[in-house]
A and B are shown apart, each in its own frame.
Chain A
């Protein structure tokens, strides 16, 4: 049962981690919390629903690619419309955060107003198949999602360290002005960044749609991913992964424990939040975050 709980925790955590990576990627360069990431994830899931169920019967992998591409483009557009003006004006990060929140509110409710609140399921990739190891059961979709997420993050890592754009992104994460002085077109760079983050979000959305279901407020779950990212340290990719997985594990473990006869499962958000605050007190930048100092 304990090991089963750990498996569940990792499965939940991997979704958080995948969401947190896209979120952290944007943070690392632009230094603001992209609260619209949840909405992009939701739209990614709806794209998959549209091509897999509603309009066409596209198989899973092409649909996943379409979703990732579509969500990437949406994230790119999101940046162009809602952030680029502020970015060029070097507005405080509070403004970007508010703009992102506006996008999130708008998009989620746009879904309610147009497609409606009806719940949809994406067709399963592996029909109800689970792997049994002794008494343990692991769903194939979990394994698949876990491996595929890990692969994608590995590819992202390679992009960041091997390609020119990736190097530019990492350099920009240190000093955006310097990078622009060196002749890198910041608009292109940020565009690529958002496309990557959006694609990851789209993928997270599709996995969520298959594992759970598709509905307008599914982006709510990204709140947990934000908390994961903060625990790991905003702007750090390994931090996002570790933070997301840790949060998933914590939630699963809290859900099965009880205190003095009462089950703690309904209190697990209090624990997530509690650990966040405690961590921030002792390690204000999370596990992997870097400390930024102002120049006076």
Chain B
């Protein structure tokens, strides 16, 4: 049994290390090849303390964890700050792992290559599993807090995360720190279990094992990697004779899993009722294989009967596996009603505790319905802006798709010399001049290589205005948004928001100032639920500390979380998505994903909302719903909005004032009627030749 105990302690230790890597690689999508080095730091720090200074075990472990975290900041800060792409980061960590080993080999305190022999054995089955349980619970708690959601969001889409005001560096560092801390804990336990350590233990093989655990267990899950690594430790013990082949199998498994089952064992999910049969069939295979071991001996010794012996062995494995599979299925079926009842009881209890009874919800939904009825359905929408404009001008359909380069060149020159007229015209109508502008952009400029994307574009936006920004493809509309929201640095010009110069501000500061946006190519956090997408954007309102988040204590943490959830539901109900709140965002239809982006942007409490083609890909009915939605949020949330849109009808029905951009310059400005009648606009959209035909 002592032997079994030894295996189980190993399981616990590697599971803790894998949990650490899962928190980092699994959620942020950055690949660390140097995690063994964090284990080494934790192991050495803890053992030096217990070995030379007779410090109590738990304190030594804690010091090891803290030191690992500090060392991880040492490597993480420069590399993450430089925004290395994942390959560079992986190689940097690989080099870091080697560097740590070099230092351990050369230091007197660590006794060089000889290492530290004769460390006392403090790790027991009890404390190892206790620590594993604590680690799993803390990690689970962490992922349910705003801090955890920020990290998941970054892993899903760093750009979108930044655009909802989540700073990348500090959060990635936090994730790396937690990850390194767990690795350090595992290292400390390992040292006090094997009772000796040397630099050579913390090799690439160790890093490979825990990486394989995370990948096979599922990136984006905690219990998956833990289960996977447990199997990785147990299975080779059943086949001591095959020890050499172990790593060959791990390697093959990595390739197979990542190619054909990239979500691993449980995918984004945790171990739950649904996964039980899966887990049991795996346990069954393991059990079957372990029975195979004695038969294998027999196979080897049964000269002449190998085929028969193999057959018997195969049948044994199959039978045991099948048995376990059935057992798993039966158990999960049996558990289903129990779980159902537990769930309903819990939710009922929860409701009573929060005081959010069903009446309240009913009241809420009736208000919503009322609002829906209030707004009149808008008119039919034409599918494309070009056809819309062309239709206004003439009924000719030729030349709409003018691929002729000459036509484009013509349009360019036309656009350039017409600009002055456009400027003169824009001086004409004044809509909200009496109120002060909330946003003022002067002489904005951006080059990509030799291409001028935005060429001295100036405009203003009044408080409470709903401004349309249109222009042909490639005219620089989205670039303007990217410059305002600081995705790209500005090459020239100034951006004033609420009288503050925000030209040089970083993306998260811009969001903090009150500017939110949506994306032309939808950028949601696909693996999160609809609700969580909005919750992630409410990160500023999670007012508890990290420690409180980890412990989910005191009671204020669940209360704050509940408030965030309720607020998210409210925001979802504004865009009409409250029924979908538990769906994974990536499974939503296209139109609803766009609405979710709007809800997520609203969660940032913006003063200014930048909508980048919210109606793209929508059918006329959806588009008309969207118009209604935008009108509603514009009114109710007291917002200023800039709208980029190709559905002309949407723009025309929403925006009293419209700017037209071509080749990065303003070519026209005015009311929808003025724009529709403006020959320059038509020319820009259709090209000179086509325009001539139309006319």
Q: Closest CB-CB distance, A90 to chain B, in whole Å? A: 12
Q: Which chain B residue lies CB-closest to A109?
A: B247
Known: A86-B259, A113-B245. A270 touches B103 (CB 8 A): yes
Q: Closest CB-CB distance, A227 to chain B, in whole Å? A: 6
Known: A95-B258, A98-B211, A106-B255. A227 touches B102 (CB 8 A): no
Alpha-carbon gap, A92 to B30, bound state (A): 11
Interface residues of B: mostly helix, strand, loop or mixed?
A: helix
Contact B247–A99 (Cβ < 8 Å): no
Name which of A41-49, A170-178, A271-279 contacts chain B.
Answer: A271-279
Contact pick for B87, options A32, A109, A266, CB 8 Å:
A32
Alpha-carbon gap, A109 to B482, bound state (A): 49
Q: Closest CB-CB distance, A80 to chain B, in whole Å? A: 11
Whether B244 sits at the interface, judged by CB under 8 Å, is yes
Contact B86–A230 (Cβ < 8 Å): no
Contact A270–B99 (Cβ < 8 Å): yes
Q: Closest CB-CB distance, A169 to chain B, in whole Å? A: 19
Whether B478 sits at the interface, judged by CB under 8 Å, is yes
Residues of B with C-beta under 8 A to A240:
none
Q: Which chain A residue lies CB-closest to B163?
A: A296
Whether A143 sits at the interface, judged by CB under 8 Å, is no
Contact pick for A93, options B83, B86, B101, B246, CB 8 Å:
B86
Whether B250 sits at the interface, judged by CB under 8 Å, is yes
Q: Closest CB-CB distance, A179 to chain B, in whole Å? A: 20
Contact A270–B208 (Cβ < 8 Å): no
Interface size on B (CB < 8 Å)?
54
Residues 256 to 272 of chain B near chain A (Cβ within 8 Å):
258-260, 262
Contact A105–B106 (Cβ < 8 Å): no
Q: Which chain A residue lies CB-closest to B74?
A: A277
Contact with A along B90-125 (1 / 0, CB 8 A): 111011101101110110000000000000000000
Contact B482–A106 (Cβ < 8 Å): no
From A27, A33, A274, residue with most partner B Cβ within 10 Å = A33
Known: A92-B29, A113-B245. A103 touches B82 (CB 8 A): no
Contact B254–A101 (Cβ < 8 Å): yes
Contact with B along A86-129 (1 / 0, CB 8 A): 10000111110111011111111110110000000000000000
Contact A113–B98 (Cβ < 8 Å): no
Whether A81 sits at the interface, judged by CB under 8 Å, is yes
Residues of B with C-beta under 8 A to A276:
91-92, 95
Alpha-carbon gap, A284 to B85, bound state (A): 9
Known: A110-B248, A280-B92, A284-B82. A86 touches B258 (CB 8 A): yes
From A32, A91, A270, A281, residue with most partner B Cβ within 10 Å = A270
Contact B87–A105 (Cβ < 8 Å): no
Whether B290 sits at the interface, judged by CB under 8 Å, is no
Known: A113-B248, A294-B159. A273 touches B98 (CB 8 A): yes
Contact A97–B86 (Cβ < 8 Å): yes
Contact B102–A267 (Cβ < 8 Å): yes
Known: A33-B90, A93-B87, A273-B96. A85 touches B31 (CB 8 A): no
Residues of A with C-beta under 8 A to B96:
273
Contact A230–B31 (Cβ < 8 Å): no
Whether B381 sits at the interface, judged by CB under 8 Å, is no
Residues of A with C-beta under 8 A to B159:
294, 296
Whether B487 sits at the interface, judged by CB under 8 Å, is yes
Whether B190 sits at the interface, judged by CB under 8 Å, is no
Interface size on A (CB < 8 Å)?
49
Residues 245 to 296 of chain A near chain B (Cβ within 8 Å):
266-267, 269-270, 272-274, 276-277, 280-281, 284, 292, 294-296
Residues of A with C-beta under 8 A to B92:
230, 273, 276-277, 280
Q: Closest CB-CB distance, B82 to chain A, in whole Å? A: 5
Contact A101–B29 (Cβ < 8 Å): no
Contact with A along B223-254 (1 / 0, CB 8 A): 00000000000000000000011111111111
Whether A5 sits at the interface, judged by CB under 8 Å, is no
Q: Closest CB-CB distance, A177 to chain B, in whole Å? A: 15
Residues of B with C-beta under 8 A to A296:
159, 478, 482, 487, 519-521, 523
Whether A82 sits at the interface, judged by CB under 8 Å, is yes
Whether A214 sits at the interface, judged by CB under 8 Å, is no
Whether A223 sits at the interface, judged by CB under 8 Å, is yes
Known: A27-B87, A276-B91, A277-B78. A98 touches B248 (CB 8 A): no
Q: Closest CB-CB distance, B14 to chain A, in whole Å? A: 16
Residues of B with C-beta under 8 A to A280:
78-79, 82, 84, 88, 92
Q: Closest CB-CB distance, B35 to chain A, in whole Å? A: 13
Q: Closest CB-CB distance, A260 to chain B, in whole Å? A: 14
List 5 A-B pairs, Cβ < 8 Å: A94-B86, A95-B262, A109-B246, A230-B88, A296-B478
B-side interface residues toward A, CB under 8 Å?
29, 31, 75, 78-79, 81-88, 90-92, 94-96, 98-99, 101-103, 105-106, 159, 208, 211-212, 215, 244-255, 258-260, 262, 478, 482, 487, 519-521, 523
A-side interface residues toward B, CB under 8 Å?
27, 31-33, 81-82, 85-86, 91-95, 97-99, 101-110, 112-113, 223, 226-227, 230, 234, 266-267, 269-270, 272-274, 276-277, 280-281, 284, 292, 294-296
